[in-house]
Chain A
Amino acid sequence: MAIDEGNILVKARAESAEEIIRRLGGLLYQNGYVKDSFTQAVLDREVIYPTGLQTQLLGFAIPHTDTEHVNRPAVAVATLEGTVDFRAMDNPEVRVPVSIVMMLAISDPKSVVNVLRKVISILENEPALRGLAAASSPQEVREIIFEHIKSLADKISTDGSEGMAH
């Protein structure tokens, strides 16, 4: 699962969830990780199954979609200047003001489940979330995610089948 600096936006300004989804989807497409159908599929899925999550610290969204739109697994991240509203995962009527968006491009869930779990569990890591919100460069964002993943090495077992590109 690639965490590529080319798929990271820092202190991005966006007017809406759709705008930031389009920008991150555009990066993943430009960089070859997803098919051109990916972004629209993410937007469509967000209508039915929204992905806004209120963590203790801030609003976080994990837009994603079906595996058929993905070439290679990757994570794209945007930290926002301000917030955009996503609808809440457990209740589409509730709006979550989101300041970090982590878009997941998943191609083969079984092969990436361990690393995917580690990435998702950053939601529970308050210092990491604080670090992401304050980060001033894509390198810094990438470092924080790697540090978080490393800190979980013992907690979430890896079976060796997962591929993580450094």
Chain B
Amino acid sequence: MYKVKIIVVCGSGVATSMHAAYKLREYFDKEKIPVIIDGGGNNELAGRAAAYDIIVSNTMVTMKTDKPVFSAIPLLTGFGEKELAAKIIEAARKIIAEKDKAN
């Protein structure tokens, strides 16, 4: 099974992205979906995005990308968190299906 790669970014990569990344990982673990989740700073995103399948961000993503982008704010406030996690997992499942089919 393809291992989906997700990058979670915030302003500096110091505080909120780490928290959001941990929480997101818990949802993937619960669904037993293998995943790589890394945290980072917004300024690294343009350089690193190519290596990931899904972008989750606490800040506004202004760079152009064809990858799915999600706001990480619900993972911080808890408000709409389950819905967000479900959407990200759905996107991940779609990517896994496509990649596994291609192999």
Binding site for B on A (CB under 8 A): 45, 48-49, 51, 53-56, 62, 64-67, 89-92, 104, 106, 109, 113, 116-117, 120-121, 123-124, 156
B60 at the interface (CB under 8 A from A): yes
Q: Pick 30 A–B contacts, CB within 8 A, sort by A.
A: A45-B12, A49-B11, A51-B11, A53-B77, A54-B77, A55-B77, A55-B79, A56-B77, A62-B15, A66-B12, A67-B14, A89-B10, A89-B11, A89-B59, A90-B58, A90-B59, A90-B60, A90-B71, A92-B60, A104-B15, A113-B18, A116-B19, A117-B18, A117-B22, A120-B19, A121-B19, A123-B76, A123-B78, A124-B78, A156-B22
Task: Report how far A165 CA is from B76 CA in the complex, Å.
Answer: 24
- The total number of A-B Cβ pairs within 8 Å is 70
Which secondary structure characterizes the binding site on chain A? mixed
- Asked if A123 and B77 make an inter-chain contact with CB atoms under 8 angstroms apart, the answer reads yes
